[in-house]
Amino acid sequence: MAPRAFDERVSIDQNRRLVTSLPGPRSQELHARKNAAVSSGVGVGLPAYIEKAGGGILVDVDGNHLIDFGSGIAVTTVGNAAPAVVANVQEQVADLTHTCFMVTPYEEYVAVAEALAELTPGDHEKRSALFNSGAEAVENAIKIARTYTGRDAVVAFDHAYHGRTNLTMALTAKSMPYKHGFGPFSPEVYRAPMAYPLRWPTGADRCGDEAFQAFVDMVHTQVGETNCAAVIIEPIQGEGGFIVPPQGWLSRIADFCREHGIVLIADEIQTGFCRTGDWFACDHEGVVPDLITTAKGIAGGLPLAAVTGRAEIMDSVHSGGLGGTYGGNPVACAAALGAIATMKETDACARAKQIEALFVPRLEALRSKYDVVADVRGRGAMLAIELTAGAGDLTPNPKATAAINAYCHSQGLVTLTAGTFGNVFRFLPPLSSPDHLLTEGLDIIDEAFASVLG
Ligand SMILES: *Cc1c(COP(=O)(O)O)cnc(C)c1O
């Protein structure tokens, strides 16, 4: 059977349309209420309040149709309010909203665990445990690795992002805004250099080998291999700026972990579920992690996260050691089953590759035209450009990045920035977005560059 098209059955008109300037008057009213009622610690990128979304469009309360290049940070991969997600959720929520899986279980949780065993890298026996958020999945992956190995230390990388809870703040690299003022942080977290080709001191060609050697030396001298419970790694870094390590680096880390009995945790919370053109980014190099954390794209927008891994590791935890009141909520699980079915039926991995093919020539054209564009990178529908001072000067250019981002917002294109230095402009469109919206969004980005850099 041929894959069905993504955008069928989406009722929202798939055209950008601005009927007010952004944010419009109703959004401004809501934003005043937000500022009076919601902590200022919860920031907002573009204060256009959304009331409907689908395909590649977000509709705000003033009736503006915005183009979505963010997917709510890589969550609505199958589209917002995707038909199969809505249908499963509606049926499930009318039948059963909650029992707590640890009290009296239900089938949907088991079905999600079965799907994870089928889809995640490797054909070994697997088990899963479900949680509410990515950070919670990461914390549990570390707990599991520590129990299994009887060791304490965990190694993470420069530019890593693993969440905002105490242990995951410790794993996250960037201080402002994620960690600033929130310490002290969880101990026994060590940091290795990231293989960041653009910024490797001796150049991109030597980055893979030297970064791997620096990692090995760090583990040996600062941690001790036999004290190391886990190495946690994003196969393509997300919030850190869509950093793609050189081919082979990840598999060398995996080999090192295997050799020393260290649990390799792939944090695929942002890269997972077809985003990069494979079911998981590890598949690209055939790397099989011991544990994998997933969330974001897994459930089409409902909160769900998972740790999946080798049965002997996952089953090393004492009964009752893993869980939580809401983890694997039946409505979120039903949504995940709908999202996964949609990914299979639409061949979402192929769609992500089409999006890459559509974007990359346009982003490369920007690199040719503007010397502030120092890098075009990413994979599938997870793509970014990094902006610097230009003319070979790699000084980060967060100012131009913010100005270009703001221009896009003013034109009704919802874009995101990222990166340790705030100088990465990143693209995470829903795979359900029709091509004409992607092209129009790229046209707006061209205008934004012309307007800001003239
Ligand atoms: C978003 C993200 C997290 C944290 O997920 P939350 O659901 O926000 O807690 C962890 N790791 C990666 C790679 C992420 O992109």
Residue 133, ligand 1, Cβ within 6 A: yes
* Position 11 confidence tier, pLDDT thresholds 50, 70, 90: confident
5 in a structural domain: no
Choosing from 162, 165, 269, 424 the residue with most ligand 1 atoms within 8 A of its CB, the one to mutate for a pocket test is 269
Q: How far apart are CA 242 and CA 222, in angstroms?
A: 27
For atom 11 of ligand 1, the residue with the nearest CA is: 162
CA distances from 266 to 130, 141, 252, 278 (A): 16, 10, 14, 15
339 in a structural domain: yes
114 and 248 housed in the same domain: yes
Choosing from 159, 270, 326 the residue with most ligand 1 atoms within 8 A of its CB, the one to mutate for a pocket test is 270
192 and 276 housed in the same domain: yes
Domain range for 434 is 25-81+347-453
Apex 185 CA angle, 223 and 417, nearest 5: 100
279 and 212 housed in the same domain: yes
Residue 270, ligand 1, Cβ within 6 A: yes
pLDDT of residue 1 exceeding 60 = no
19 in a structural domain: no
What pLDDT is recorded for position 8? 56
DSSP H/E element including 416: strand 416-418
Domain count, the chain: 2
Residue 134, ligand 1, Cβ within 6 A: yes
CA distances from 335 to 105, 109, 118, 432 (A): 17, 11, 18, 16
Torsion of Cα atoms, 136 then 257 then 275 then 371, to 10° = 110
49 in a structural domain: yes
Residue 138, ligand 1, Cβ within 6 A: yes
4 in a structural domain: no
Strand boundaries in 72-216, DSSP class E: 126-131, 153-157, 189-192
Tell me, what CATH number does 270's domain have? Answer: 3.40.640.10
The pLDDT tens digits of the residues spanning 376-434 come to 999 999 999 999 999 889 999 999 999 999 999 999 999 999 999 999 999 999 999 99
The pLDDT tens digits of the residues spanning 187-202 come to 999 999 999 999 999 9
pLDDT of residue 438 exceeding 90 = yes
Choosing from 76, 130, 164, 296 the residue with most ligand 1 atoms within 8 A of its CB, the one to mutate for a pocket test is 296
106 and 123 housed in the same domain: yes
**CA 199–ligand 1 middle distance (angstroms):** 24
From the list 12, 15, 73, the residue with the least C-alpha distance to 429 is 73
34 and 124 housed in the same domain: no
273 and 396 housed in the same domain: no
**CA 422–ligand 1 middle distance (angstroms):** 18
316 and 365 housed in the same domain: no
437 and 372 housed in the same domain: yes
Among 346, 380, 412, the domain-final residue is 346
